[in-house]
């Protein structure tokens, strides 16, 4: 399996191709529904004013996301009472819910990798070509196993979103993913969708 270090260069991300297994190491951040809506509303479309610690969190996110990786994950975390945080279970969540936001977030922050499950649609695929970036598929439900590749929790932002929705900064080693959407406009998900549609039509006609 090929090893890739975060932050990721444009050259490296362009060299990744659909179907390739990759082991990621470095610092990444989790973000899902609440985080994506917050980033887009507050700092990209600016439909709401920053409040509370919004500006501080934004400033902290920028260097992590530049050349970085965002992980669609709502972990189970131990040590909440002592703040000695440890990921217990941390598989991917369904990415398609971030389709309205992801492309804008990738362009705004120069995100190189998006990890999740289930794949994403045409807007994100276009952003992968432009950024450039790639969608990296983790194994859904393999939560205990994936948590073992999370070596340390470095911090957490927006814990008021709740544990699953907070943005956890994590150091990972050999985090296993498969490239399913690449910087060259190829999507394994679009291929499977089309093939399975034609198989369905045959079955329905039978």
- Binding residues (CB under 8 A) for other proteins: these are 19, 21, 34, 73-78, 88-91, 93-94, 96, 117-119, 137, 139-148, 161-165, 176, 178, 180, 188-189, 191-193, 195-197, 199-200, 203-204
User: What is residue 14's three-state secondary structure?
Assistant: helix
Indicate the residue among 63 and 162 with the shorter CB distance to other proteins: 162
Note if the bond before 162 is cis, omega within 30 degrees: no
Whole-number minimum distance, CB 133 to other proteins, in Å? 20
Whole-number minimum distance, CB 102 to other proteins, in Å? 15
Which helix (H) or strand (E) segment is 173 a member of? strand 167-181
Indicate the residue among 131 and 179 with the shorter CB distance to other proteins: 179
Interhelix angle 122-130/99-109, nearest 10 degrees: 10
Question: How does DSSP assign 119-165, residue by residue?
Answer: ---HHHHHHHHHTT-EEEE--TT-HHHHHTTEEEEEEEE-GGG-TTT
Separation CA 171–CA 178 (nearest Å): 19
Indicate the residue among 44 and 178 with the shorter CB distance to other proteins: 178
Whole-number minimum distance, CB 46 to other proteins, in Å? 20
Whole-number minimum distance, CB 165 to other proteins, in Å? 7
Indicate the residue among 49 and 203 with the shorter CB distance to other proteins: 203
Indicate the residue among 11 and 204 with the shorter CB distance to other proteins: 204
Whole-number minimum distance, CB 57 to other proteins, in Å? 17
R_g (Cα) of the chain, nearest Å = 17
Task: List the Cα angle 139/198/194 in 5-degree steps.
Answer: 45
Both tokens of 118, joined, read 């289930």
User: What is residue 169's three-state secondary structure?
Assistant: strand
Whole-number minimum distance, CB 179 to other proteins, in Å? 10
């Amino acid at each position: 399996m090929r090893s890739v270090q975060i932050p990721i260069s444009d050259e490296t991300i362009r060299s990744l191709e659909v179907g390739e297994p990759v082991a990621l190491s470095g610092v990444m951040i989790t973000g899902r529904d609440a985080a994506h809506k917050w980033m887009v509303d507050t700092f990209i479309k600016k439909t709401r004013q920053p409040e509370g610690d919004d500006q501080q969190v934004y400033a902290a996110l920028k260097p992590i996301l530049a050349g970085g990786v965002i992980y669609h994950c709502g972990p189970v975390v131990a040590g909440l009472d002592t703040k000695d945080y440890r990921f217990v279970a941390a598989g991917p969540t369904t990415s398609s819910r971030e389709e309205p936001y992801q492309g804008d977030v990738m362009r705004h922050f120069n995100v190189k990798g998006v990890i999740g499950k289930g794949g994403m649609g045409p807007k994100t695929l276009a952003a992968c070509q432009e950024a450039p970036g790639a969608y990296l598929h983790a194994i859904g439900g393999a939560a205990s196993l994936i948590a073992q590749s999370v070596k340390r929790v470095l911090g957490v932002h927006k814990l008021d979103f709740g544990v699953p929705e907070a943005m956890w900064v994590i150091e990972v080693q050999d985090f296993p993913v498969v490239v399913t959407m690449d910087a060259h406009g190829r999507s394994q998900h679009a291929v499977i969708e089309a093939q399975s549609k034609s198989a369905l039509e045959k079955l329905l006609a039978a």
